[in-house]
Amino acid sequence: MGKPGKRLPVRGGDRRPARVRPYSLTGGRTRFGHVLLVETFVGATAALEAAEERKELTNGNLASRVTPEMRAIVVLCRRMRTVAEIAALLRMPLGYFSRTYDLVLVSAGKGELVQMFARDAERSPYSEPQRALAVAYVHGLGPRPEHPDMEAVRCNLVPGVGEMFVMPTFTTSGRADILFWEGVPGGPLDAFEDVRDPAEHLSLTLEPMERFLPWEYARATEVELTDAGGTLAGRYAPTVRNPVGRLPSGGLVLGVADVVVADDPITGQGSNSASKCAAFYLASILEHGEEEFDEAWMQATFDRYWETARHVTKWTNAMLGPPPEHVLNLIGAAGQLQPVADRFANGFNDPADFENFFYDPKKTGGYLMEVSGASGA
């Protein structure tokens, strides 16, 4: 909103406006004077006057006759803001967006908005959290002794107690490692819930490492938290939801990624799955052309993603239960036979393959016979 004759520069003004815009132009969309991309900066000048070409919005008197939304935008834009920032800060209700836009996607992770998407009981075998999660970002962890020069994730299974993942990462203070306990609820690792002090969180992380995983603890004697915000604890029930949410206004919205499929992080699949979900949705949007984004389209779009996601969910839920004997045999064999280790590791990339050798004891046995026969073991 600049003064007449004194326009702000329009970044990307030569780009075609996208068909699906994650933002709104208040005051109607019948025509627009500027191309506003989500990253376009908007600033309000001191004189509250409508631009010459938009006089009808205010009848020339912006201070008293503008819509509340526009007044709020002017106040927000006393400091330069992007269009995306303005939309977020205005906290416009979803009903507004569903009335205004062709399609509204809700990608609120595990935020409270997920409540508008009904739980799919058939696809959600657990109604309670299966792990208490506790994460600490640290500096000062020693290298892996067997491969000191190569970064890698280490996964430790402590039967009946939980799992520890040690993951190299980058954070604002540089290279770091994540010490991530997944504790069986009610067990010795389920101790972080009420801890508010980051130092206490770290010592609660290290104590069970010394007790159950002395080889990991040996690397961790010098660690310190990356910063006071370097810890996280919580839990949630792995849940698949109905992808279509109905707003009180009757409008429909489509859930994305964790909103619709929130698996436990035990298999570390969530971020990849979120990217795959976005890619499937984008393909469906582009293929749909000018058609309406109705409920049938929303369901079909999710179903397309679910064809991939269902394998992730099945495998992740299986990993949360006590491992059956044939899985223990498989993991044991992976320690001896490189092809088995490779196939298991590659399952993280394509969990659909677990159908062929992981769930069914007969298939696991057949596969292990085949590999050990081929290797002469």
Ligand X SMILES: Cc1cc2nc3c(=O)[nH]c(=O)nc-3n(C[C@H](O)[C@H](O)[C@H](O)COP(=O)(O)OP(=O)(O)OC[C@H]3O[C@@H](n4cnc5c(N)ncnc54)[C@H](O)[C@@H]3O)c2cc1C
Q: Which residues bind ligand X (CB under 6 A)?
A: 107-109, 111, 113, 133, 135, 232, 257-258, 265, 268-272, 274
Phi, psi of 117 (to 5 degrees): -105, 120
Structure tokens at 294: 């109705």
* Interacting residues of 13 by C-beta distance below 8 A, sequence separation 6+: 34, 35
Structure tokens at 328: 């223990």
CB of 234 to ligand X, least distance (A): 7
**What's the rounded Cα separation, in Å, for the pair 25 and 44?**
15
The H-or-E segment that residue 326 falls in is: helix 325-336
Q: How far is CA 193 from the centre of its chain?
A: 22
**What's the rounded Cα separation, in Å, for the pair 328 and 161?**
16
CB of 107 to ligand X, least distance (A): 5
Choose between 205 and 364: whose C-beta lies nearer to ligand X: 205
Residue where the block lists tokens 């292990």: 368
Yes or no: say if 193 and 233 are a contact pair by the CB < 8 Å rule.
yes
Choose between 74 and 89: whose C-beta lies nearer to ligand X: 89
Choose between 62 and 133: whose C-beta lies nearer to ligand X: 133
Residue where the block lists tokens 């326009």: 7
Yes or no: say if 163 and 212 are a contact pair by the CB < 8 Å rule.
no
Choose between 271 and 375: whose C-beta lies nearer to ligand X: 271
CB of 329 to ligand X, least distance (A): 27
CB of 123 to ligand X, least distance (A): 16
Choose between 114 and 220: whose C-beta lies nearer to ligand X: 114
Question: For residue 376, how many other CB atoms are within 10 A of its CB?
Answer: 5
CB of 140 to ligand X, least distance (A): 21
Shortest Cβ contact with ligand X: which residue? 270
Yes or no: say if 245 and 256 are a contact pair by the CB < 8 Å rule.
no
Choose between 77 and 233: whose C-beta lies nearer to ligand X: 233
CB of 270 to ligand X, least distance (A): 2
